[in-house]
């Protein structure tokens, strides 16, 4: 019987050694993981891909966006004579499903604002790429208002900036969950 307590006493230090060894391995793994994360994030530096600042890359969406189609709209245009109209199909690109539910609550207000915006345009304005882009930006602003977000107006480029038309636009504000306005159909008659 005296052998069993001695064996138990020998096992206790071995058990403590195992715990210390496991703790040391976990600590090393944590340090290696932290160093790898620091290296990967630090490697992006002040600029990410394509020269975009890293802070804008960090604000990029983490998951896929939610798309909310808006029922087609037919609007009389502001052309002289009043015989021109536009039929628009819109889809909103939103950050998540929660934002989609918020937008649905304000849908009558949003549709009304969009109808007013489009009815102020002429067919000549809507038939150009710039006219469609401006309309999309104005619709983005109107959709964001009821949610409490502001979208800055796009400033006119200076003469120096007009030469480089392929230059990317400034990124949209990351706090706004309304990311974009997409045209699913666009008919002007």
| Of 87, 69, 90, nearest in space to 77 by CA | 87
Q: How far apart are CA 62 and CA 179, in angstroms?
A: 13
**Domain ranges, ordered by start, for the chain:** 3-58, 66-155+174-188
What is residue 19's predicted lDDT score, i.e. its pLDDT? 82
For 171, left (φ over 0), alpha (ψ -120 to 50), or beta? beta
What is residue 72's predicted lDDT score, i.e. its pLDDT? 94
Contact 77, 118 (CB under 8 A): yes
Residue predicted with more confidence, 5 or 37: 37
Token duo for residue 137 = 């930006």
Q: Residue 38: enclosing H or E segment and its boundaries?
A: helix 3-43
Residue predicted with more confidence, 12 or 181: 181
Q: Judging by DSSP bridges, how do beta strands 178-188 and 85-94 pair with one another?
A: antiparallel
What 3-state class would DSSP assign to 84? Answer: coil
Token duo for residue 17 = 């050694």
Span 142-187, pLDDT tens digits: 999 998 888 777 655 545 444 444 444 444 445 889 999 999 999 9
Residue 106: Cβ within 10 Å count:
14
E strands, 121-173, in order: none
| Of 87, 73, 72, 92, nearest in space to 147 by CA | 92
Span 23-71, pLDDT tens digits: 888 888 887 777 777 677 765 554 444 444 444 444 455 678 999 999 9
Determine whether domain 66-155+174-188 maps to CATH 3.40.50.1000. Answer: no
Q: What is the CA radius of gyration of the chain?
A: 29
């Amino acid at each position: 019987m005296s052998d069993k307590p001695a064996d138990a006493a020998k096992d206790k230090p071995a058990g403590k050694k195992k715990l210390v060894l496991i703790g040391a391995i976990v600590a090393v793994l944590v340090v290696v993981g932290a160093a790898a994360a620091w290296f990967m994030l630090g490697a992006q530096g002040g600029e990410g891909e394509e020269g975009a600042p890293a802070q804008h890359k960090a604000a990029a969406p983490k998951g896929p966006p939610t798309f909310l189609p808006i029922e087609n709209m037919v609007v009389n245009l502001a052309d002289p004579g009043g015989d021109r109209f536009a039929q628009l199909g819109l889809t909103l690109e939103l950050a998540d499903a929660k934002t989609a539910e918020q937008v649905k609550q304000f849908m009558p207000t949003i549709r009304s604002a969009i109808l007013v915006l489009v009815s102020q345009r002429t067919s000549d304005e809507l038939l150009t790429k710039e006219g469609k882009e401006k309309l999309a930006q104005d619709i983005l602003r109107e959709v964001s208002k009821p949610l409490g977000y502001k979208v800055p107006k796009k400033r006119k480029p200076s003469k120096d900036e007009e030469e480089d038309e392929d230059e990317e636009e400034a990124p949209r504000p990351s706090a706004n969950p309304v990311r974009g306005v997409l045209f699913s159909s666009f008919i002007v008659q």
